[in-house]
Amino acid sequence: MGRMIFVVGNSRSGTTMLGRVLGGHPEVFTFNELHFFEQLWNAGREPEPIGHKPAVTLAANLLTIQRDGYFAKRNPGAYLDEAGTLVDAIASPITPPRVFATFMENEAARHGKAIGCDQTPRNLYYLHELLELYPDARAVVIVRDPRDVLLSQKNRWKRRRLGAEGTPRFNALRTWAGYHPITISLLWRSGVRAGDRLADHGRLTPVRFEDLLAEPEKQVRMLCDRLDIPFDPAMLEVPRIGSSHETDRPTETGLDPAAAGRWRHGGLTPTEIAVCQRIAGDGITRHGYDIEKVSPPLGSLVFCRLTWVLKSGLALVLNLRRSKSLVEALRRRLGG
């Protein structure tokens, strides 16, 4: 199997930005978010052999996600011939993880690259399986201050008007429904714990979002050393797009240090900050962030809990089709 890099972390922690950094390397091809683990294959099960037809269907789905975009209407039928050729090259037994690895290798080679990089954030919850399934794979876990994650998630539904015109309106609604300070803080805590459990693994590299922005060359050189690839200055010339706070600036390049600590300049209520710090406090201090003293009104805290019940129910309904097994997905997130 070809070499692979998995960039993982909580949503809005900088996985896309870091994927672009790595994709600027002459040997690395960064994919769209593929969501293979959880949406296309239930990683909670042992890999079992599958027939030629389901393997071709799986490969065709991966091709349409990569070529047409994650949010585009999927048309796997347009890629069946190419998918069939891909599957024919896989030695028996054919399993979903082998189909995924072959797809990654072939697609990277198609772009003249030797290493495929998957930047799907939720792979954070499947790190153990990834490293077990792919002995040559490396993983990078990026951690960001949860209060900045909270602020970014709070504004994420606005991405359509900030440059992401291809984002469906339904996804904007789903994102709005998914935001609540309790939900996002719980997810940050479980995600960080999932990464911390494997922090000493020889093929995993943790990096803080804030350190990457403060010392980009130093941090990227460190990553290159860990990933066993030579540093290339072009890796630092990434376009400034994808923010939840400002319009995309694709003509401007470089990592923007202003993206760190935005929560300190407004956008979160004292209640949101207090809730986040109470839930995620151990991870906040463990990863070198400071706790801020806030005194939210009691009534606001009570209202926050009440709205959490309502919004969680709506978010659950809107996300029913985003995983092969909802029970398995929830178990991994709540297990942290």
Mean pLDDT, residues 215-221 taken together: 97
- Sequence-ordered list of residues with C-beta below 8 angstroms from that of 135, at least 6 positions apart, any chain: none
Round to whole Å and give the CA distance between 296 and 313: 25
Which has more confidence, 126 or 70? 126
pLDDT value of position 261: 95
Where do the domains of the chain lie, and which CATH numbers do they carry? Answer: 4-27+114-334 (3.40.50.300)
- Greater confidence, 286 or 321? 286
Give the C-alpha separation, 281 to 274, whole Å. Answer: 10
Q: CA-based angle 85:93:204, to the nearest 5? A: 90
pTM listed for this prediction: 0.88
Whether 286 shows a pLDDT value over 90: the answer reads yes
pLDDT, one tens digit per residue, over 78-117 is 999 999 999 999 999 999 999 999 999 999 999 999 999 9
Cα separation, 87 vs 163, in Å, equals: 37
Over 90: is that where the pLDDT of 124 sits? Answer: yes
- Give percent of the chain with pLDDT exceeding 90: 73
Question: Where does the pLDDT of residue 175 fall: very low under 50, low under 70, confident under 90, or very high at 90 and above?
Answer: confident
- The Cα–Cα gap between 119 and 126 comes to 13
Indicate whether 164 pLDDT > 80: no
Which pLDDT score, from 0 to 100, does residue 194 have? 95
What is the mean predicted confidence (pLDDT) over 233-241?
Answer: 90
**Nearest Cα to Cα of residue 31 among 128, 111, 132:** 111
Q: Is 269 left (phi over 0), alpha (psi -120 to 50) or beta?
A: beta
Radius of gyration, alpha carbons of the chain:
20
Least confident of 77-81, 131-135, 230-234, 327-331: 327-331
Angle between helices 146-155 and 181-196 (to 10 degrees): 130
The structure tokens 């010392």 sit at 215
Summary mean pLDDT of the chain: 89
What local confidence, expressed as pLDDT, does residue 239 receive?
Answer: 87
- Other CB atoms within 10 A of residue 228 CB: 9
Angle 196-202-208 from CA coordinates, rounded to 5°: 45
Q: In what order do the strands lie in the sheet with 138-143?
A: 28-30, 115-118, 4-9, 138-143, 204-208
Q: What confidence score (pLDDT) does residue 53 get?
A: 96
Q: How far apart are CA 25 and CA 22, in angstroms?
A: 6
Where does the pLDDT of residue 130 fall: very low under 50, low under 70, confident under 90, or very high at 90 and above?
Answer: very high
First vs last Cα of the chain: how many Å apart? 31
Helices (H), 136-295: 146-155, 169-178, 181-196, 209-214, 216-227, 270-286
State percent of the chain over pLDDT 70.
Answer: 89
Over residues 290-324, the pLDDT tens digits come to 999 999 999 999 999 999 988 888 877 777 666 66
Q: What pLDDT score does 163 carry?
A: 46
